[in-house]
């Protein structure tokens, strides 16, 4: 039984999407509980990916392949987890703020967070404050993530937080921000709960924000 989970971890590490999906199916067939497949198969693989990335032993394209493999496994697992009443790590509503069409940084964070087991609702780019507010009402996320690439659009993060406050939703979510011109001081000034300097630290931050809840 643990042999299949071990191989699953390896498939994640290797970024082999098809193999990961096959192994999740095999584990389910063998009667391994979904929660155990997640905790002892998918997650250890992804944790190792994170560790290797931080050490400089893995590069972004490889991490993305691993995140895709993780996602493929998770897609098969999700119905079983839901049926068993198991909660995923957490849910994040993500978007690049109004006026900004830059997508890649936010997409990287999406992929890395999905890889770490978060459920992502991606609102895309050029997302107005109202759309963030609506998404919070609809999806009830644990975290709202905002990205901006331009010094001109980073202010829209502050406006979005204000809109979330005015809608009375601020204490229901943690807010994290990131993007090239953003720094920790700016994040604090606009009232965000955290700032990630890159996609890898964003994942760590999201985990911290969840555990602080």
Partner 1 sequence: MRRTNYRTYAGTRFQMLSRDQLQALFDGVLHTLEYTGLEVHHEEAREILKEAGAWVEGLHVRIPPYLVKRSLQMAPRSFTIFARDGNPKHDIHIGPGRAHFGPGPTPPNFIDVETLERRPYVRADAEIVAKVCDALPNIDFVESLGTVSDVHHELAATYEFATMFPNTSKPIVAWSYGRDDAEDIHRIAVAEAGGQEAFERRPNYVHYCEPLSPLVSTFEAMDKLIFAARHRVPVIFTPCPLAGGTAPITAAGIIIQAAAESWMGLVVAQAISPGLPFFMGGVLSVMDMSAMILSYGAPELSLMMAGITELAHFVGLPLWQTGGCTDSKTLDEQAALEGALSVFFSALSAGDLCHDVGYTESGLTGSIFQTAMMDEAIGYSRRITRGIEVNDDTLAVEAIHNVGPNGHYLREPHTHRYYKTEFWYPNLCDRHNFEEWDMMGRTRMRDRVIARVRDILATHRPAPIKPETEETIQRVLEEAEARVAEHA
> Which parts of this chain interact with partner 1 (CB under 8 A)?
53, 56, 59-61, 101-102, 104, 108, 151-152, 155, 180-181, 198-200
| Nearer to partner 1 among residue 37 and residue 63 (C-beta) | 63
* Distance in angstroms (rounded) separating the CA atoms of residues 34 and 169: 33
Residue 1 Cβ, how far from partner 1 at the closest point, in Å? 36
Residue 60 Cβ, how far from partner 1 at the closest point, in Å? 5
* Distance in angstroms (rounded) separating the CA atoms of residues 82 and 32: 15
In eight-state DSSP terms, residue 48 is H
Quote the radius of gyration of the chain (alpha carbons, Å): 18
| Nearer to partner 1 among residue 136 and residue 206 (C-beta) | 206
| Nearer to partner 1 among residue 51 and residue 101 (C-beta) | 101
Residue 101 Cβ, how far from partner 1 at the closest point, in Å? 5
Stated length of the chain: 213
b (16+ CB within 10 A) / e for 130-141: ebbbebbeeeeb
| Nearer to partner 1 among residue 6 and residue 183 (C-beta) | 183
Residue 132 Cβ, how far from partner 1 at the closest point, in Å? 21
The closest alpha carbon to 125, from 107, 100, 156, belongs to 100
| Nearer to partner 1 among residue 121 and residue 199 (C-beta) | 199
Helices (H), 30-154: 34-37, 43-55, 60-83, 104-115, 129-139
| Nearer to partner 1 among residue 33 and residue 191 (C-beta) | 191
b (16+ CB within 10 A) / e for 75-89: ebbeebbeeeeeeeb
Residue 189 Cβ, how far from partner 1 at the closest point, in Å? 11
Residue 180 Cβ, how far from partner 1 at the closest point, in Å? 7
116 and 210 Cβ atoms separated by less than 8 Å: no
């Amino acid at each position: 039984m643990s042999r299949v989970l071990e191989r699953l971890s390896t498939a994640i590490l290797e970024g082999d999407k098809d193999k990961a999906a096959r192994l999740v199916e095999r584990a389910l067939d063998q009667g391994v509980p979904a929660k155990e497949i997640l905790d002892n198969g998918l997650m250890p693989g992804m944790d190792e990916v994170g560790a290797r990335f931080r050490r400089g032993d893995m590069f972004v394209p490889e991490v993305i392949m691993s995140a895709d493999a993780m996602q493929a496994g998770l897609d098969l697992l999700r119905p079983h987890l839901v049926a068993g009443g198991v909660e995923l790590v957490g849910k994040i509503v993500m978007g690049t703020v109004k006026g900004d069409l830059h997508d890649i940084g936010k997409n990287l964070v999406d992929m890395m967070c999905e890889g770490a087991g978060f459920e992502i609702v991606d609102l895309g780019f050029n997302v107005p404050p109202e759309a963030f507010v609506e998404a919070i009402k609809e999806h009830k996320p644990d975290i709202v993530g905002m990205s901006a690439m331009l010094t001109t659009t980073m202010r829209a993060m502050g406006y979005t937080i204000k809109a979330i406050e005015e809608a009375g939703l601020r204490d229901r979510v943690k807010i994290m921000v990131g993007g090239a011109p953003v720094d920790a001081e700016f994040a604090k000034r606009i009232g965000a709960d955290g700032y990630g300097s890159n996609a890898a630290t964003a994942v760590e931050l999201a985990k911290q924000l969840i555990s602080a809840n």
